[in-house]
Chains A and B, each alone.
Chain A
Amino acid sequence: MQRDVLPEPTPREGGDAGGATTHPDVVVTGMGAITPAGRGVAATWAGVLAGKGAASLDESLVEAGSPVTLTARVEDFDADAELGRGTSRRQDRFTQLALLAAREAVAQAGLNADAPDEQPDAVTVVDRDRVGVLLGSGIGGAQTWDETYPTYLEKGPGRVSPLFIPKMLSNTAAGAIAIATGARGPNLTVNTACAAGASAIGTALQLLRSGAVDVVLAGGVEAGITPLSVAAFANMGALSKNDDPTTASRPFDVDRDGFVMGEGAAVLVLERADHAAARGAEVLGRVAGYGASADAHHATAPPEDGAGAVLAMRRALEDAGLEPTAIGHVNAHGTSTPLNDAAESKALRTVLGDHTDTVAVASTKGVTGHLLGAAGAVEAVIALQVLREGVVPPTAGLRTQDPDIDLDVVHGEPRELQVGAVLSNSFGFGGQNAALVLTR
């Protein structure tokens, strides 16, 4: 099959962060995460560093007779207690998770100082009208669909809850964050399936650079584990059939056979550097570049050479004004599916060239499973932690690296490594790709 010749990367000069571009710096001042690896950013980071797969037997799937029964769920989560019975009852699980991630991020950024008790997440210290919300979600309120449709079938249309639509719509989580925080800037939800979290952060970067907003709460969320979706993912061959929770998700392993479905959310507080400096906010890192592309190839399979992924990564580097040699670590999409990991490996080598040999690659999906629309946001948080802490987490589940994966994949133990720039990849069904460059 004939393939398009890939263009060479555009040569650039002055390759330090922001040096070759005229974009205003965009910094991260708050992070929140609720993932199978842990509740909160600190626990998620500790869980990812520990390198133990968070998958477990999912009783609801056993009861349903599901062909796959391992999932990576969020634990330690009491929506009634934490969000109040009223909000909890009115919101699908995915919105609940997004609200909790946003709460942590807003608090860390100090945006809600002296907020009233009845609205604890309210943004009080900046102009709320210039605070945007940009979330990614692949599926939206899957649990609400699953719970409501049997009611419709068994009891008739008259018994369908009027809350079904507002609970199920995938843009509800972003709307709920606006209600909780009072943020009245642009409020958007992007869907690029498993790239949605990264697409949201990238789109937020562009929105901030445009000058339309001062602050954006950006991230991704997914709570799509239902017997129906697991059956469908399993029947398309996307899920691991391995029933050992510690090795079912095993990115880049020679025996990898699919991903483990996960759920969770992550939200970052992004703002222009000058805005953060003016209010004395601590800078946790920078979103330096974003690249997006489409494979234009197939609904679910990447092209073998990862050509679309190559475009996204090159665009992210160019956007950041960085040469490939600036990248010290890659948080790979690394889903643990045979096709993704092989194509991503080839794409990384195409983008990074000989420099690939010196880049520490890891996929944290070995621990978290695949959080679909939340993955890119959770992994951006982890990438920022790598920059801050100087340690790369191991790729859990990896025992024997696939000889066709020509990458230095960190596994077994975490690796101490000071890096100046991290590339974080996310690729979605639909052939939609997003790459982020994060710097200190």
Chain B
Amino acid sequence: MTRTDIQAQLSGILTDQFGVPADEITEDATFEALGLDSLDLVEVTLVIDEELGIRIPDEKLGEIQTTGDAVTVLVDLTKVDA
């Protein structure tokens, strides 16, 4: 999966399942700014695990502030997997 693929998947999850308006989702947008708190972020990771089959370890959560951070973490994890 390319970075663009992962970004599209994450955007889809955030809009469809978390009600975030698509036009607010940019690489620099923090989850907090999108109305998602730390519990929501954990929920997002569970959905990613479910839909993309990528498990974000707890210790990586601290690296995620923006959606771009999340994509970066996911890209790294897919590289390790591959």
List residues of chain A with CB under 8 Å of any chain B CB.
80, 84-86, 88-90, 158-159, 161-163, 166
Q: Is the CB of A159 within 8 A of B19?
A: no
Q: Is the CB of A89 within 8 A of B39?
A: no
Among listed B23-31, B42-50, B63-71, interface-contacting one: B42-50
Assuming the contacts A159-B49, A159-B50, asked whether A84 and B19 have C-beta atoms less than 8 A apart, the reply is yes
Q: Is the CB of A85 within 8 A of B19?
A: yes
In the complex, what residue of chain B is closest to A90 when comparing beta carbons?
Answer: B40
Q: Is the CB of B39 within 8 A of A163?
A: yes
The distance in angstroms between the C-alpha atoms of A167 and B17, with both chains bound, is 17
In the complex, what residue of chain A is closest to B18 when comparing beta carbons?
Answer: A89
B25 to chain A, nearest CB (A): 14
Binding site secondary structure of chain B:
helix
Q: Is the CB of B39 within 8 A of A166?
A: yes
- B53 at interface by CB-CB < 8 Å: no
Q: When A and B form their complex, what is the total count of cross-chain residue pairs whose Cβ atoms lie within 8 Å?
A: 26
In the complex, what residue of chain B is closest to A84 when comparing beta carbons?
Answer: B19
Contact partner of B39 (CB less than 8 A), chosen from A84, A85, A159, A162, is A162
Q: Determine the chain B residues whose CB is within 8 A of the CB of A84 once the complex forms.
A: 19
The distance in angstroms between the C-alpha atoms of A183 and B6, with both chains bound, is 42
The distance in angstroms between the C-alpha atoms of A88 and B39, with both chains bound, is 15
Contact partner of A89 (CB less than 8 A), chosen from B19, B42, B49, is B19
Q: Determine the chain A residues whose CB is within 8 A of the CB of B50 once the complex forms.
A: 159
In the complex, what residue of chain B is closest to A159 when comparing beta carbons?
Answer: B46
- B62 at interface by CB-CB < 8 Å: no
B9 to chain A, nearest CB (A): 18
21 CB < 8 A contacts A-B? A80-B19, A85-B19, A86-B18, A86-B19, A86-B35, A88-B19, A89-B17, A89-B19, A90-B40, A158-B46, A158-B49, A159-B46, A159-B50, A161-B43, A161-B46, A162-B39, A162-B42, A162-B43, A163-B40, A163-B43, A166-B39
- A89-B17, A162-B42 known, 11 other contacts, Cβ within 8 Å: A84-B19, A85-B19, A86-B18, A86-B35, A88-B19, A89-B19, A159-B46, A159-B49, A162-B43, A163-B43, A166-B39
Q: Determine the chain B residues whose CB is within 8 A of the CB of A80 once the complex forms.
A: 19
Q: Determine the chain B residues whose CB is within 8 A of the CB of A159 once the complex forms.
A: 46, 49-50
- Within 3-62 of B, Cβ neighbours of A (below 8 Å) are at 17-19, 35, 39-40, 42-43, 46, 49-50
Q: Determine the chain A residues whose CB is within 8 A of the CB of B49 once the complex forms.
A: 158-159
The distance in angstroms between the C-alpha atoms of A90 and B41, with both chains bound, is 12
Q: Determine the chain B residues whose CB is within 8 A of the CB of A86 once the complex forms.
A: 18-19, 35
